[in-house]
Structure 1
Amino acid sequence: MELRSSFIAATVIACSAVMLPAAPASAAPTRYEAESAPATCSGTIDTDHAGYSGTGFCNGANAVGAAAQFTVNATTSGTATVGIRFASGTTTARPADVIVNGSRVSATTFEGTGTWSSWSTKTLAVQVNAGSNTIGLSPTTAAGLPNVDYVEFEVTAGGSPGTGRLDDPNLQYYGRWNRSNSSFYTMGWAGGYVDARFTGSSIGVRQRNAIDLFYSIDGGSLRWRRNVSGNVTLATGLATGSHSVRIGYRERAGSYNGDAGFGGLILAGGGQTAPVARPQNLVEFIGDSITVGQPNADRPFVAYPWRAGEALGAGHTQVAEGGACLVSRDCVGMMDWFRRSTSRATTDDWNFSTYQATGVVINLGTNDVGHGVSAAQFQQGYVVLLERVRRAYPNAHIFAMQTFRNRYVPETRNAVAARTAAGDSKVHFVDTTGWINTTTDLVDAVHPSPTGHAKIAQRLAPILDQYL
């Protein structure tokens, strides 16, 4: 069993909760709770860690083979996406076999999520039959499984096999990508990534120039390939069947000028891509170096935007840069640059029809003090940014976070109140008082450590979950 930890509920001051309309067109995945039959848990169904869905979660026994199993229904045979929501307060990853209809089909690893109340989602691709199927997670070490909350299951119907080239409709891009170059798409801002499903025994990626690249195969832990360019092999010797890959890059910052130019996937002979479903929700995070996750080496995936997005099972991206402000005064002012594909764009060039965020989280104000922005100027600028975000994303819930250094707090509240009074019922102020310990959770006087980011995500994700 895991070590127990307590959860302190986060506070949000907001207008009345207005639920987002159901997503049109594509059906949402089906959720199967770990505590509900015919699911089985080789352990206990517990309720002592906040943030779980339904009436409990599976706390598996600490033993090899102490499995959690779900019975799912597929409308047709084919490749299915399985999203596993879990929490692990340990620092040691917990490996497990993935067992479908009684046969081991692959292996996966559940990394630590920071605390037992911090939930994340692991996404796998498996082959299923039409009708009833069983999907089991069987630990391969005496540490057992993490706590398992539920799985979300979906068979991707329709679509065609793809080539892995840039314009392959099976590749799913998250973030602001410049697609003007037909040979290489370039990631703008920070926290962008590409998801894909493929067949074949190997997978690689084409890179234009040198970059620090991170990737994950079959939902495993994210790994780095530093300073790589050209044709980069990510994995070989993969088992027969379908696999998933996620690829992302370190953002340009300071003296680091890596080229986040993605040239498509390199598939094995006979390999193809397959359709992959996008999550129903996409959360965009607007901010500065804190949102980016600087100066932590494993940003963006140790930063609170990535952690919170993964905990929600949502797509996520960042419109953020170190040193950014709210107001454009000798710095990148997000009230203006929010409308651009990157901080290096010279015009408002971003096309908001490319994707629609269902949630937008703003964390700005830490840097404006150093640029002489008055309280009145900040409040006015914040109202302008909220108005522009609303025009860009008519149906999104917008969350204005209190800065962790408590700068411009009344002005941020007042800007939210002004928009609420103007009739926008989906704008919320997020009170972050007490979320982190400024003595132990920072790497310097300003920036959270990975532990600090985990604490922020733990408090933020349940707030977002109320509305998305």
Structure 2
Amino acid sequence: MLSHFPLLGLLILGTMASASVVIPHTHPLIYFHGRWDSSPGTWWAGSGFKLHVNNLKSLNLTLGPHTTAPLTSVGVSLDYGEFITANISEGANAIDLPESFIAGEKTGTTVVRINVEGWQNNRMNLESIVLNEGASLVQYIPSDLVFQFIGDSLSAGQFLPKGVDQAWPFLVGEAFKAEHVVNAQPGAALTDIVSYGNEHGVSFQFFRTEDTGYFYTTDHNFTTPWNFARDKPAATHLVIHIGANDASQNVTDSQFVEVYTTFIARLRTIYLGQPIFLFTPWGWPNPDGTVNQYYEGQYEKIVDLRHAAGDENIFLVNTTGWVGWDDVFPDNQHPTVPGHVHIAEQFQAWLENRGLHPRERWATQ
């Protein structure tokens, strides 16, 4: 059990035994998820990889020069336990494992999940993985339930100690024992405009490999189209919660509806029939119990327009009342860690009430 070992930390790896097993980043049994460029390096919060390892006793990551300096924070989970933060940097990094692994008390296979936590400074340039002598990779079988989340800071885990790993989309994916990808950028509007340091809106950036931080990354200040065929398996359910930054940038109701319906139409060229869930805003709570709202009634219009176009597999998720003053940081009104748990629980209940239930077990054990 993960609760019985110290926090996963970072050790600088010195010499490695010649018998160590070196896994190049091109190895077919590394299961990559999220957005990776050709270096290969991560973009967007939550991107990472999964391993299914036989006889695991040590785990080391060798990272290249495109890794965020001086470090980037990743979450590490063993056998679907809690994600524990490890700070990694260019070069050799040894990830602490529980004593039971090192002593050989843990036998059989282990599922290792590693993902970048942050919504910025989150580039992990993976060159190779080094395992102990006698270890080997076996196939990781992904869940047949795959969530694709799209949003802004309210979905990316901004201001949380563990970033996206504590955000409601990540928690929902975990609760359903599903694969889950989060493309959410704090400060970005859906509309393709400059907003709070983001050069593009999500309606543009979602279709690119890079998140909007590319603009400030001197070694990679360009964008490349994302090949959605790399998402294997493809998303089975899409969840969108966005609009706060459009409202802050004075995008009008009619403009927002037009951008959103166009965005969904473009999504439908990739996700032909999957359910799409559109969150209404839960708004900005105030200490007196009132909530400041934006685009009231417009999300309903978007769903109605899609239904009129023949797209019946799109659903409105009315989040009114989901978030109160006790759920947010008072200085920025973004959900706290317990607030994100509260949101995740409510959305899980919403999904279960409509017939989607968590898988009984993870696909890879």
- Normalised-by-shorter TM-score class: 0.7 to 0.9
- The code of the aligned residue for 2:326 comes to T
Distance 2:243 2:282 in 1: 10
Partner residue of 1:61? none
| Alignment match of 2:312 (pick from 400, 425, 446) | 425
Distance 1:215 1:273 in 2: 17
Contact 1:251/1:260 (8 A) holds in 2: no
Moved more, 413-422 or 228-237: 228-237
| Alignment match of 2:303 (pick from 388, 410, 416) | 416
Give structure 2 stretches of 5+ with no counterpart: 5-20, 215-220, 284-292, 357-365
Partner residue of 1:225? 86
Partner residue of 1:295? 159
- The code of the aligned residue for 2:117 comes to R
Distance 1:201 1:167 in 2: 22
- The code of the aligned residue for 1:177 comes to W
Partner residue of 2:51? 196
Question: Per-residue deviation at 1:446?
Answer: 2.7
Provide the TM-score with structure 1 as the length reference. Answer: 0.61
| Alignment match of 1:442 (pick from 328, 339, 344) | 328
Distance 1:224 1:348 in 2: 29
Deviations 1:337-357 (A, max 9, x none): 221112227456011111221
Distance 1:433 1:348 in 2: 37
What is the count of residue pairs matched by the alignment? 303
Q: Secondary structure at the match of 2:192?
A: coil
- The code of the aligned residue for 1:235 comes to D
| Alignment match of 2:270 (pick from 392, 397, 410) | 392
Identity %: 28
Partner residue of 1:212? 73
Query: Would the alpha carbon gap of residues 108 and 346 (structure 1) be closer, same or farther in structure 2, given more than 3 Å must change?
Result: closer
Query: Would the alpha carbon gap of residues 220 and 365 (structure 1) be closer, same or farther in structure 2, given more than 3 Å must change?
Result: same
In the TM superposition, 1:17-416 aligns within 5 A as: 107-109=1-3, 164-178=23-37, 180-181=38-39, 185-199=40-54, 200-208=56-64, 209=67, 210-236=71-97, 237=102, 238=104, 239-253=106-120, 257-331=121-195, 332-342=200-210, 343=212, 344=214, 346-347=222-223, 349-355=225-231, 356-405=234-283, 406-416=293-303
Partner residue of 2:287? none
Deviations 1:300-326 (A, max 9, x none): 111000000111111111111110111
Distance 2:172 2:147 in 1: 9
Identify, as 1 or 2, the structure richer in helix: 2
Q: Secondary structure at the match of 1:232?
A: strand
Query: Would the alpha carbon gap of residues 227 and 276 (structure 1) be closer, same or farther in structure 2, given more than 3 Å must change?
Result: closer
Distance 1:265 1:388 in 2: 37
Question: Per-residue deviation at 1:163?
Answer: 6.0
Q: Secondary structure at the match of 1:245?
A: strand
- The code of the aligned residue for 1:330 comes to V
4+ residue segments displaced more than 4 Å: 345-348
Higher-Rg member (1/2): 1
Q: Secondary structure at the match of 1:409?
A: coil
Deviations 1:83-134 (A, max 9, x none): xxxxxxxxxxxxxxxxxxxxxxxx4559xxxxxxxxxxxxxxxxxxxxxxxx
Deviations 1:236-273 (A, max 9, x none): 505343222111113353xxx35321233211112111
Identify, as 1 or 2, the structure richer in strand: 1
